[in-house]
């Protein structure tokens, strides 16, 4: 009974209003202290080509997404995002025409993929601006999106080769060759435009974010592949991932 009396005495002292949420940036929607917008170019960039992001719905829930960095670094209309698990859907206005365009290329590893740097940059041999399609999601999500979207099968598929390790050092990547969506779009766009300076401008928000996080307690993350090879990855992996990484699981 005494405990009940204490509860009723404490009840009026509880604040009826919910705790105040941290102020958020009106652009990136991240809390002001961890906003990366200061790393964006002073003036939005306007390359000849466009980036077309086909985004899995689950990506919206991720707190450390890099696709918005690409969106806000480029002029409106130069980075278009379509969300779904299959493409195109009826509400994806204009996407079907983009996917049918002969100047559309897609970054996705198929058996027929060619190295992106073997394509003519814009303006060389009469090459028109490209539509660069990127699948934004985890590898299993991207695979499901591709196989569930027959219109993607006819697009020229390309791959990036000879790239440096990801600068997204505060997030664990599956393998050493994995890049964030921002990095993928940035490297590909600089190749297709024949303009290496694009990399310096477009990667700055990611560098700003990582530098801030590391200065405030975050630690550098190695890829799962690297940690498995060093026997420091704490989780067991399945045969499929082991095959992908060319690592045989230990047999007890």
Name the burial class of residue 180, with classes exposed (0-12), middle (13-18) and buried (19+) by CB atoms within 10 angstroms of its CB.
Answer: buried
Bigger pLDDT: 74 vs 13: 74
Name the range with the highest mean pLDDT among 160-174, 176-190, 191-205: 191-205
Answer for the pair 106, 157: CB distance below 8 angstroms, yes or no.
Answer: yes
Cβ–Cβ contacts within 10 Å for residue 210, how many?
A: 20
Count Cα atoms within 13 angstroms, Cβ side, for 241. 13
Asked if 90 and 164 sit in the same domain, the reply is yes
Q: Is 63 among the domain residues? A: yes
pLDDT at res. 178 = 74
Residue 192 is given by DSSP the state H
Q: Is 24 among the domain residues? A: no
Is the pTM higher than 0.85? The answer reads no
Mean pLDDT for the chain? 83
Asked if 46 and 156 sit in the same domain, the reply is yes
Asked if 249 and 166 sit in the same domain, the reply is no
Please give the distance of CA 29 from its chain centroid, rounded to a whole number: 16
Q: Is 140 among the domain residues? A: yes
Bigger pLDDT: 159 vs 227: 159
For residue 156, the cross-strand partners are 105
pLDDT in tens, 55-112: 999 998 877 788 999 999 999 999 999 999 999 999 999 999 999 999 999 999 999 9
Strand duo 156-159 + 114-115: pairing: parallel
pLDDT-derived band at 225, boundaries 50, 70, 90: very low
pLDDT in tens, 151-164: 999 999 999 998 77
Asked if 173 and 185 sit in the same domain, the reply is yes
Asked if 203 and 231 sit in the same domain, the reply is no
Answer for the pair 115, 188: CB distance below 8 angstroms, yes or no.
Answer: no
Asked if 157 and 231 sit in the same domain, the reply is no
Mapped onto helix, strand or coil, the DSSP state of residue 99 is helix
Answer for the pair 84, 58: CB distance below 8 angstroms, yes or no.
Answer: no
**Shortest CA distance to 44 belongs to which of 71, 81, 64, 66?**
71
Average pLDDT over every residue of 35-42: 92
% of the chain exceeding 90 in pLDDT: 55
- Whole domain around residue 230: which residue ranges? 222-252
Asked if 47 and 105 sit in the same domain, the reply is yes
Total domains in the fold of the chain: 2
pLDDT at res. 9 = 60
Asked if 190 and 161 sit in the same domain, the reply is yes
Q: Is 200 among the domain residues? A: yes
């Amino acid at each position: 009974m005494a405990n009940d009396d204490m509860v009723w005495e404490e009840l009026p002292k509880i604040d009826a209003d919910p705790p105040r949420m941290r102020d958020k940036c009106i652009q990136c929607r991240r809390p002001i202290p961890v906003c990366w917008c200061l790393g964006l170019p002073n003036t939005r960039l306007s390359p000849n080509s466009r980036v077309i992001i086909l985004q899995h719905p689950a990506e919206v829930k991720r707190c450390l997404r890099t696709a918005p960095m690409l969106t806000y670094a480029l002029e409106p209309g130069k980075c278009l995002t379509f969300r779904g698990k299959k493409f195109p859907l009826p509400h994806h206005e204009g996407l079907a025409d983009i996917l049918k365009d002969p100047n559309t290329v897609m970054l996705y590893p198929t058996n027929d993929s060619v190295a992106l740097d073997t394509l003519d940059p814009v303006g060389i041999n009469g090459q028109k601006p490209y539509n660069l399609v990127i699948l934004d999601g985890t590898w299993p999500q991207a695979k499901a999106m591709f196989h569930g979207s027959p219109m993607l099968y006819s697009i020229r598929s390309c791959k990036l080769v000879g790239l440096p390790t990801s600068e997204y050092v505060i997030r664990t990547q599956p393998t050493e060759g994995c890049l964030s969506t921002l990095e993928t779009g940035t490297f590909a766009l600089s190749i297709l435009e024949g303009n290496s300076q694009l990399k310096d401008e477009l990667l700055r928000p990611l560098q700003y974010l990582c530098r801030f996080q590391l200065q405030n307690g975050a630690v550098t993350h190695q890829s799962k592949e690297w940690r498995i090879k060093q026997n420091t990855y704490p989780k067991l992996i399945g045969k499929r991932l082991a095959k992908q990484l060319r690592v045989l699981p230990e047999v007890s």
